[in-house]
Amino acid sequence: MLLNAPEKAVAVGEWTEVGDGVLARRYEHLDQTLGLVVGQERCLVIDTGGDEVQGAEFVAAIKGVTSLPWTVVITHAHFDHYFGTAPFRPCPVWSHDRCRAAMAADAEHDRAAFAARFVRDGEHELADRLVNAELVLPDEVMTTKTELDLGGRVVTLLHPGLAHSDGDLMVHVPDAGVVFAGDLVEVGAPPSIGPDADPVGWPKALDKILALRPDTVVPGHGSPVDVSYVEEQRDQLHQLSALFRAVKAGRMSVEEALPHSPFPEATTRPVLDRVSRT
């Protein structure tokens, strides 16, 4: 069974304040949610979107909130979270070190693959926007934990281990009780468990979010949620992890495991097929 829709809603194309000076902005395309944390001396931008048109719109929206200089954080190396960075320059751009490496290695392949998908779906404008977006690689990297002082407010960048990708980071705003989770948490659709995801490590990463005891968790896609939603998604990922390990150990076949997954077959089968071939 899929998770219930969260109670906290974010209007598409509008800001929602999820804490004092902590805002989420949701976009219709891919149901994406980007973030902003405002300090006394500077602000922090969490992800920049999938192309420069979206990035420029986000820049304009931020300028409507604050005139402070910004720092950008990229939560992970999937195209829809970083190809909008160029309109933010010049500024520091942070990511996990493996995120930066993955961007450098895979961005052009991902650009071509998703532009082709947009064309197949008749979304020619989105394809053109992605093709024309400049790749901006992070110039600051972290490995485990880094604190950024925004002036009167310190935020923490944390790497939760292997999960949605091998280079995820989450942004903890402790004085507001908010965690920006990137795609470690996804709302409105099953988690995207691609070939660079770790089904065993992912529920452990959500335990690390829960250990921070946030009031609000902002996903990379969908509306902000409370910890009960994260707990439920963690439990579902634990179920998938158990099936993954059972197939890997030869205790179950893929076909035997599929009916026991909490996620649809379209989400589950690629994960189990992958381990059955190793």
SS (H, E, C) 92-117: CEEEEHHHHHHHHHHHHHHHHHHHHH
Q: Tokens at residue 251, please? A: 């205790």
Provide the 3-class DSSP secondary structure of residue 55: helix
Global confidence as pTM: 0.93
Q: Give the chain's domains with CATH numbers.
A: 15-226 (3.60.15.10)
87-123 CB burial, b ≥16 within 10 A, e <16: bbeeebbbbbebbbbbbeeebeebbeebbeebeeeee
Closest among 231, 275, 75 to 160, alpha carbons compared:
75
Task: Please give the distance of CA 122 from its chain centroid, rounded to a whole number.
Answer: 25
Single-letter amino acid, residue 72:
V
Distance from C-alpha of 137 to C-alpha of 146, rounded to nearest angstrom: 18
Provide the residue-wise pLDDT of the chain in tens; the chain has 278 residues.
Answer: 233 334 444 455 689 999 999 999 999 888 999 999 999 999 999 999 999 999 999 999 999 999 999 999 999 999 999 999 999 999 999 999 999 999 999 999 999 999 999 999 999 999 999 999 999 999 999 999 999 999 999 999 999 999 999 999 999 999 999 999 999 999 999 999 999 999 999 999 999 999 999 999 999 999 999 999 999 999 999 999 999 999 999 999 999 999 999 999 999 999 999 886 65
Taking CA atoms, 123 is separated from 65, 127, 132, 154, in Å, by 31, 6, 15, 40
